[in-house]
């Protein structure tokens, strides 16, 4: 289970404090797929970055697979990121001077028990791209590569920040399909931040942020498959 417990985050100086996350509390069951919705600036990326150990919190705690994040120092957070997390971002964040295969290997190297890169490439439909550099592949392919890199280490938590934000409809649907497959196959907990309301219908838990506050945390009774989702 993932627990977010009375989380607070603010930026700025003492006189000019911007409260970006205000007393956020919720839990996610292991292996679930969750969606984080909210307008631009509502705090989605900040929440994911704190959950991912990239940003620190001011108050509260987060518990992932029994690990309490609040008391962790830099080194411990780094280990947590390396062992437990897979990240996928809107603009892929691939290493430009490494081939696709090498990019995926950077994920695999972080694990004691990684997935096989060739089998993963086959599963994600990027076998023909393995020898290319990121500048030689399409956006949809690049996002598949970044998913492969994140999944190669078999993370327990898969964090996706606007994974389809830069993609056309068909590529976005394909990427959602892959995320859904990986969630089912490896029972990885997935949390997706997005502006796209349609993505919420394929997630078991739907979280809504507004102006740094959690407005609702609801369970979907009827979950659509990535194939059925339309927008
Ligand atoms: N490092 C920072 N320093 C100061 N303010 C920040 C910092 N990071 C984020 N903010 C502010 O925190 C608020 C929330 O930003 P965040 O990136 O979490 O929003 P978001 O919901 O992800 O938005 P979007 O949908 O546009 O990606 C914004 O007002 C932003 O300007
Ligand atoms: Mg964001």
Q: Given this model, what pLDDT does residue 45 score?
A: 96
Residue whose CA is closest, atom 1 of ligand 1? 11
What is the CB neighbour count within 10 angstroms for residue 148? 29
Of all protein residues, the one whose alpha carbon is nearest to atom 3 of ligand 1 is 11
Nearest ligand to residue 21 Cα: 1
What is the predicted pLDDT for the residue at 228?
93
Question: What whole-number distance in Å separates Cα of residue 31 and Cα of residue 168?
Answer: 28
- The pLDDT tens digits along the chain (231 residues) read 999 999 999 999 988 999 999 999 999 999 999 999 999 999 999 999 999 999 999 999 999 989 999 999 999 999 999 989 999 998 999 999 999 999 999 999 988 889 999 999 998 899 999 999 999 999 999 999 999 999 999 899 999 999 999 899 998 998 999 999 989 999 999 999 999 999 999 999 999 999 999 999 999 999 999 999 999
For a pocket test of ligand 1, which of 18, 20, 192 has the largest count of ligand atoms closer than 8 A to its C-beta?
Answer: 20
Please report, for residues 94, 128, 145, 168, the alpha-carbon distance to residue 131 in angstroms, rounded to integers and kept in the order given. Answer: 14, 7, 12, 24
The CATH number of 30-57+68-219, from 3.40.50.300, 3.40.50.2300, 2.60.120.580, 3.40.640.10, is 3.40.50.300
Ligand 1 center to residue 200 CA distance, Å? 21
Name the residue at shortest CA distance from atom 28 of ligand 1: 41
Nearest CA among 206, 84, 80 for reference residue 151: 84
pLDDT of residue 83: 87
Output the pLDDT for position 75. 95
Evaluate the CA torsion angle 113, 128, 157, 18 in order and state its sign.
positive
Atom nearest to 48 CA in ligand 1: 18
Span from the CA of 44 to the centroid of ligand 1 (angstroms): 8
Q: What is the pLDDT of residues 183-215, one digit of tens each?
A: 999 999 999 999 999 999 999 999 999 999 999
Q: What share of the chain is helix, strand, coil (3-state, %, to 5)?
A: 35, 30, 40
- Token pair belonging to 214: 């959690």
Within 10 A of 54 (CB to CB), how many other CB atoms are there? 15
Of 197, 171, 192, 165, residue with least CA distance to 180: 192
Q: Is the C-beta atom of 38 inside 6 A of ligand 1? A: yes
* Ligand 1 and 153: CB distance under 6 A: no
The predicted structure's pLDDT at residue 10: 97
Mean of pLDDT over the chain: 94
CA 88 to chain centre: 5
Give the Cα separation of 98 and 105 in Å (integer).
Answer: 10
Our answer on whether the CB atom of 194 is closer than 6 Å to any ligand 1 atom is no
User: For residue 167, how far is its CA from the centre of ligand 2 (angstroms)?
Assistant: 16
Q: Domain segments of the chain: what residues?
A: 30-57+68-219
- Consecutive H or E run containing 56: none
Q: How far is CA 134 from CA 54, 68, 89, 140, in A?
A: 24, 36, 15, 11
- CA-nearest of 103, 112, 110, 111 to 147 is 103
């Amino acid at each position: 289970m993932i627990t977010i417990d009375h989380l607070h985050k603010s930026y700025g100086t003492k006189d000019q404090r911007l409260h970006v996350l205000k007393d956020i509390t919720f839990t996610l069951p292991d292996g679930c797929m969750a969606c984080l919705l909210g307008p631009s600036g509502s705090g989605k990326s900040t929440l994911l970055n704190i959950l991912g150990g990239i940003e620190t919190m001011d108050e509260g705690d987060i518990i992932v697979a029994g690990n309490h994040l609040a008391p962790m120092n830099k080194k411990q957070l780094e280990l947590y990121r390396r062992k437990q997390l897979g990240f996928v971002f809107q603009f892929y964040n691939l290493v430009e001077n490494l081939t696709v295969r090498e990019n995926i290997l950077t994920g695999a190297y972080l694990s004691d028990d990684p997935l096989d890169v060739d089998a993963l490439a086959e599963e994600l439909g990027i076998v023909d791209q393995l020898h290319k550099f990121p500048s030689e592949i399409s956006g949809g392919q690049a996002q598949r590569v970044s998913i492969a890199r994140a999944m190669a280490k078999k993370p327990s938590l898969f964090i996706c920040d606007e994974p389809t934000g830069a993609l056309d409809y068909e590529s976005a649907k394909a990427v959602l399909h892959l995320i859904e497959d990986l969630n089912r196959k490896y029972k990885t907990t997935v949390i997706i931040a997005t502006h796209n309301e349609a993505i919420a219908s394929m997630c078991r838990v739907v979280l809504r942020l507004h102006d740094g506050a959690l407005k609702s945390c609801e369970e979907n009774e009827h979950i659509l498959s990535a194939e059925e989702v339309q927008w």
